[in-house]
Amino acid sequence: MEPYRINVGIEYRTIRATTPLVELTATEGELNFRFRFGLGLILGPWHFRRDQVSEVFTTRALFSTRIHICGEGFEIYVFAAPPEPLLLTLEELGYPVDWILRR
């Protein structure tokens, strides 16, 4: 299966980046986040194995839906519009996706 690629915005630790500055590549084995447009020379990339990811769920942000990807010692907020294709793909790849919108 080809890796799923999507341009997203993220919040991770002290980094906040809007769409389309970050490319998320999802495979059955891992999630990869890397900055685009040369910013990747300074920041990232970040790799998380599927067994490190404990849950994926959504919450409401001010004007959009925020996807939380949580695991062993990390939590990343991902902004993708619309979020459903990303959530469906992650679920198909075996990631633990909770479809209930949390508060």
**Half-sphere exposure in the Cβ direction for 48 (13 Å, CA):** 23
pLDDT tens per residue, range 41-93:
787 799 999 999 999 999 998 888 999 999 989 999 999 989 999 999 999 99
Strand blocks (E) in 28-64: 30-35, 46-49, 53-60
> Whole-model pTM?
0.89
pLDDT at 29: 96
What architecture is domain 4-102?
Roll (2.30)
Residue ranges per structural domain of the chain: 4-102
